[in-house]
Amino acid sequence: MRERDWSSDVCSSDLKILESVGMEKRDFVKAGVATSTVQEFDGENITLTGVVIGEKPDTETGESREVVCLKTSEDEFISSISATVKESIVTIMEAFTPDEFVAGIPVIVKSRNSKAGRKFFYIDLQRSEERR
């Protein structure tokens, strides 16, 4: 299965939660039906209000894969299985308090291409000039 196809189904009911911030119980239910993927938000500013990091078995191989579900200020959930998204989110989680997450952290979804032409996504903090 292509990464995009798999990641659109990652936040389902068999998600084993490893770590979260800024989430309420109802948010875990909403994350369970997330259909948006980080690729759909490439270059867009979002306000991050919560994060779930977990594991989910791949429906084809049964192997466990890590997944990140981002909660936006618009109560939308965005999923990703990208290691670079997870790395950038873990850094943001370490830099901000849970209260700051609830208040909202302005971020931007970015991508870059490797020398081999593969596209990598990550989450970056918005600079003041990037904020709308």
Q: Which two tokens stand for residue 57?
A: 């078995």
Structure token digits, residue 53? 């990091």
Interval 73-90 mean pLDDT: 94
Compute the average pLDDT of residues 8-34: 75
- Phi and psi at residue 128, to the nearest 5°: -55, -35
Q: Mean pLDDT, the chain, as a whole number?
A: 85
Global confidence as pTM: 0.82
> What would the mean pLDDT of 116-123 be, rounded to a whole number?
94
- The C-alpha atoms of residue 29 and residue 94 are separated, in whole angstroms, by 25
pLDDT digits (tens, 9 = 90+) for 39-65: 999 999 999 999 999 888 777 888 888
